[in-house]
Amino acid sequence: MDVLINTRITKIPGPTVTIDCPACKAKSVNGESVRQVDQLELFYLLPFMKLRNTFVTCHECNKQLICTAPFDELGELSVDDLSQHLVHHVSIINKFLALASVLLCWVPFVGLLLGCISLAVNWRITGWTKKLSYIGIGASAVLTAAFMIILSLAGVK
Ligand SMILES: [Zn+2]
């Protein structure tokens, strides 16, 4: 894979912006913006895919935030506008919990508990981890309910 595909990363520094940091909750702190372009090249020669990401690094907590606002407009956005476009990096724990809640949704109670924990930690994140948490909770709620019904029916006899 390494021989076939090479990634060339270019970082373009952007303006210093003022943000409300979603990671450390600091209000009106400075952040350093950067545009990162990942150029994927086939056989080190043929460019075939470009990934563009904008990141803002919070001066308070040094966390790197994903910024979904257009890079060129960063300097013109107000604190509120810009903050709506900032996403805290999803941690491996969040991802693990979200996946586990779906994979273990068939285990009565355990699946439901995992789903609730996963949704709690993924609450502020909009993305697939939150969606998976909802799926995990939904599926495990139905299955746990079914399990309870079967248990009570078996108990009656
Ligand atoms: Zn911060």
Neighbours of ion ligand 1 (CB under 5 A): 21, 23-24, 58, 60-61
> From ligand 1's centre to the CA of 75, what distance in Å?
19
CA of 26 to the centre of ligand 1 (A): 6
Cα(123) to centroid(ligand 1), Å: 18
Question: 96: which 2 tokens?
Answer: 């693990």
pLDDT score recorded for residue 124? 64
DSSP codes of every residue in 36-103: EEEEEEETTTEEEEEEEEEEEEETTT--EEEE-S-GGGGGGS-HHHHHTTEEEPPPHHHHHHHHHHHH
Look at residue 3 and tell me whether its pLDDT is greater than 60: no
- Structural domain boundaries of the chain? 5-88, 92-156
How does the average pLDDT of the chain come out, rounded? 86
Lowest mean pLDDT among 6-10, 40-44, 94-98, 137-141: 40-44
Q: How far is the CA of 52 from the centre of ligand 1 (A)?
A: 23
Instruction: Give the pLDDT score at 150.
Output: 93
- The pTM assigned to this predicted structure is 0.54
Query: What is the whole-number distance in angstroms between the Cα of residue 151 and the centre of ligand 1?
Result: 49
CA of 51 to the centre of ligand 1 (A): 25
